[in-house]
Structure 1
Amino acid sequence: MDLEKHPQQPAAPAQSAPAGIRASDADRDRIADILRDAMAEGRLTAEEHAERVDAVYRAKTVGELEPLVRDLPTPGGGALPSSAAPYAYGPEAPTGPADNLVAIFSSSTRKGRWRVGGRTNAFSLFGSVEIDLTEALFGQRLTVINATSIFGSVEIKVPENISLRGSGTGVFGNFEVVTLESADPEAPVVIVNGYSVFGNVEAKPKRGKLITDLHNKLRKHLGH
């Protein structure tokens, strides 16, 4: 009788199905937290951390995220949670070539009405880089900024009604990201990663600045 029951057992492949599920922001943030802790514990070098974090925010599925922490201790263990929330600003992950802002014994500024790319590299060496997103146009929901400051500064300003997250380190310097979580589930998400050496990297909201289309959309939703 036992032999007759065995064919009715569910097939093993069902366990691997979640690997193909689209990764959510929460999935990526969980992996980024694990990588940050691993670097703080000396399990990863700063270069390894930067490479893996960049891969985290390019990953499209849960299966692409899991190998990034396979050789690291993962608190809680278990499969990554998943969701498939719709995106209103285009691709869910950065695509295309990165924009580069470089300041070596100089300054570089990007502000005003401009279209933000999916990925921006900001590098300051004895200089200053300013990125002002308060009037920018977001062509995609997720924007990643990789900021490196060596004896210089990188300053990033964002509107108050988007989500701002980040992960980085300061070596005899300052790396600060003022975390924001927008009440609008369709709001753009800006991720700031990197490090500073005898320098400063700072990302924060600019008081009173809102993305216009999000503001109008909220008013429409409330019936005003």
Structure 2
Amino acid sequence: MTQEPHGAKYFPVPLGNDVRGRTRASTADREEANAILAAAMSVGALSPEEFTERAGTALAAVTLAELDALCADLPMDRLGGAVVSGRLDETSVSTSGAAPVTRVSGILSGGSIGGGAVVAGHLTAFSLMGGVEIDLRDVEFTAPVLTIACRAIMGGIRIVVPEDVTVEVHGTGIMGGFSGRGAGAGRPGAPRVIVTGFALMGGVDTERAPRGQNLGPRRPN
């Protein structure tokens, strides 16, 4: 096979395919590649540091061949179950009937996710000279693992998680900050949130807060 049919999900093929080198990757392709990389980390084929580096590269990939290069040395035959457990395909049906949110951005402005939003296996957050707020305390989780791929460039991404959720943070700060203060174990059987990506002259902050607590600015007395 030299090229994926229109609408097909990304899956890596052996290197050296000229057509793949000329085919531009879509956002969905990058998200699928990140799901494969996350699965490789979950089975120990990639260290958290290797995953962070490759995930950041995948987010900036232009062609399918660039994504293939990131996955070329992975044991794909051992990743099947791990990939399925954390990807959108495995999402259960939303009780609200709403479609899952897959991306949020703040470009010279702000973007937010919260309230009763539905989230699945992967969420992309992008901030460019703007701000993104992701509040997971009252969202509807429809997959056991939520991977949040963050890119903060001269901007900020703030992620608030409830106290009972397990959180892993594997991001990188480049002339910026990638805070993991919200990382830690949750209760058994609770969703797992994996925060990855990078902050370039910006910041990504993950924090915990009780459900119902208002984290906004207080009114003056």
Q: Which letter maps to 2:144?
A: R
Q: TM-score normalised to the size of structure 1?
A: 0.57
Q: CA deviation at 1:162?
A: 0.8
Q: CA deviation at 1:99?
A: 1.1
Could you list the per-position Cα deviations for residues 66-116 of structure 1 after superposition, in whole angstroms to 9, with x for gaps in the alignment?
Answer: xxxxxxxxxxxxxxxx99xxxxxxx62121597111111000011111211
For the residues of structure 2 that align with 1:62 and 1:181, how far apart are their CA atoms? Answer: 29
Equivalent of 1:129 in 132, 147, 160: 132
Overall identity of the aligned pairs, in %: 25
Runs (5+) with no aligned partner, structure 1? 1-24, 66-81, 84-90, 211-224
2:215 maps to 1:200: no
Equivalent of 1:36 in 49, 64, 67: 49
Equivalent of 2:211 in 209, 212, 218: 209
Matches within 5 A, 1:110-149: 110-149=113-152
Q: CA deviation at 1:30?
A: 3.7
**Contact between 1:151 and 1:199, CA under 8 Å: does it hold in 2?**
yes
**Contact between 1:98 and 1:121, CA under 8 Å: does it hold in 2?**
no
2:76 maps to 1:64: no
Q: TM-score normalised to the size of structure 2?
A: 0.58
For the residues of structure 1 that align with 2:177 and 2:141, how far apart are their CA atoms? Answer: 28
Structure 1 counterpart SS, 2:42: helix
For the residues of structure 2 that align with 1:60 and 1:199, how far apart are their CA atoms? Answer: 34
Q: CA deviation at 1:49?
A: 9.3
Structure 2 counterpart SS, 1:117: strand
For the residues of structure 1 that align with 2:103 and 2:132, how far apart are their CA atoms? Answer: 11
Structure 2 counterpart SS, 1:181: coil
For the residues of structure 2 that align with 1:136 and 1:103, how far apart are their CA atoms? Answer: 20
Structure number with larger C-alpha Rg: 1
For the residues of structure 2 that align with 1:105 and 1:156, how far apart are their CA atoms? Answer: 19
Matches within 5 A, 1:66-85: none
For the residues of structure 2 that align with 1:157 and 1:111, how far apart are their CA atoms? Answer: 9
**Contact between 1:98 and 1:118, CA under 8 Å: does it hold in 2?**
no
Could you list the per-position Cα deviations for residues 100-146 of structure 1 after superposition, in whole angstroms to 9, with x for gaps in the alignment?
Answer: 11111000011111211211110000000000000111111111110
2:161 maps to 1:151: no
Number of residue equivalences = 154
Runs (5+) with no aligned partner, structure 2? 1-38, 62-66, 90-99, 213-221
Q: CA deviation at 1:50?
A: 8.4
Equivalent of 1:47 in 49, 57, 70: 57
